[in-house]
Amino acid sequence: MSATSPTAVPSFRSRIGHDARSGYYAAPERYRLHLSLSCPHCLQIAVTHSLLGLDDILPVTLLPALPDTSDGGHLALRPLYEASSHQHPGPAVAPVLSDNWTGTIVSTHTPDILRDLARRFGGHGPDLHPRDAEKAIETVGRLCEQGITWAAQRAGQSDGDPAARDTALATLLRTLDVLEWRLTSQEHVLGGELTLGDIQLWVTLVQLDLVHRHHLDAAAVHRITEHPHVWAYARRLAAHPAFGSHLDLDGIARRHHAHCRGMEAAGAAVQIVDWMAYAPRKEPEGVRQPG
């Protein structure tokens, strides 16, 4: 398996509403995002934030690539968790959408945060979550989670049942076949316009190459590369500043090695995408506003 599952923590799932009657409503500089770009969920949120051009109204605090407390959380988030959950029992993890007015957490649930960014804070940015595409975006999400991430993890389990690994690899390859077919005739995963589905798929492909590939054999990785439209799509989005500017390659590698419990396989040597061509120069970890 590529990595251990994160420790279960309470999920905060308040939503941003239309107006003041909703309790939480969109207001400039009321909220703050706390993100660690080595985390795939945080990376999705950071890309969405940039595509929507929310720097001026919704600031971002970037956290270190690795947790800095013994329970696997971030010390900087502990006050927010304790203010939001009395005697909070678990680690203080990212992503977090916090409310500056109350000093508490609004949400830690990535799908809700993404939808609220797109629908409540979108402003003049692209419509990343059109209402007529809601079910299609959810379908892409399941395809990414089950057909790629879960399947790649199972296929890379060195101590697992060989038949189960073969079945998982077949699932992964079938999923990539479906995506290859789609992307042969259209620019984005749901057609001509960029949506949240593209953001989730792109981050999933980043993880497939930079994390899960390391636990697959070389033959499996070569079969994964035999989807030229999928990987051309990944490169094209990486070249977009809202995507590539958030690639923390060193952080992703360190996060992988910190959580990894599997053996590295020959596929680690078969690079699929040269992500270095798109990633920014490494900056000191801390607080900044992503552009």
The verdict on 87 and 213 lying in the same domain is no
Band the pLDDT of 137: cuts 50, 70, 90: very high
Number of domains in the chain: 2
Assign residue 229 the CATH number of its domain: 1.20.1050.10
Largest CA distance in the chain: 57
Same-domain status, 108 and 222: no
Of 11-20, 59-68, 97-106, the least confident: 11-20
More confident residue, 136 or 158: 136
Same domain, 108 and 235: no
Q: Are 48 and 118 in contact (CB under 8 A)?
A: yes
pLDDT at 283: 53
Residue 291: per-residue pLDDT: 44
Please give the span between the terminal C-alpha atoms of the chain, in angstroms, as a whole number.
35
Task: State pTM to two decimals.
Answer: 0.92
Instruction: Indicate the pLDDT class of residue 282, thresholds 50, 70 and 90.
Output: low
Q: pLDDT digits over 262-272, tens only?
A: 778 899 999 99
Same domain, 255 and 159: yes
Average pLDDT over residues 236-247: 97
The CATH number of whichever domain residue 80 belongs to comes to: 3.40.30.10
Residues 82 and 108 in one domain: yes
- Domain end, chosen from 67, 91, 120, is at 120
Is 285 part of any domain? no
175/226 same-domain check: yes
- Which of 62, 92, 120 is at the close of a domain? 120
Q: Are residues 186 and 267 in the same domain?
A: yes
> Are 64 and 164 within one domain?
no
Asked if the structure places residue 216 within a domain, the reply is yes
Is beta strand 96-99 parallel, antiparallel or unpaired with respect to 104-107? antiparallel
What is the C-alpha to C-alpha distance for residues 148 and 142, in angstroms, rounded to an integer?
Answer: 9
* Mean of pLDDT values over 4-26: 71
Looking at residues 190-203, what average pLDDT do you find?
Answer: 97
d(CA 226, CA 237): 19
Predicted local confidence at residue 123, as pLDDT: 66
Domain of residue 230: give its range.
131-277
Average pLDDT for residues 137-154, to the nearest whole number? 97
Query: Could you tell me if 57 and 168 lie in one domain?
Result: no
- Residue 263 located in a structural domain: yes
Within this chain, do residues 181 and 272 fall inside the same structural domain, yes or no? Answer: yes
Specify if 156 maps to a domain: yes
pLDDT tens readout for residues 113-129: 999 999 998 767 899 99
- CA angle in degrees (0–180, nearest 5) for 232-238-240: 115
Percent of the chain, pLDDT > 70?
91
pLDDT at 287 over 70: no
- The whole-number pLDDT of residue 10 equals 56
Question: Do 15 and 107 form a contact (C-beta atoms < 8 A)?
Answer: yes
3 is a domain residue: no
Task: Provide the pLDDT for residue 290.
Answer: 47
The mean of the pLDDT values for the chain is: 90
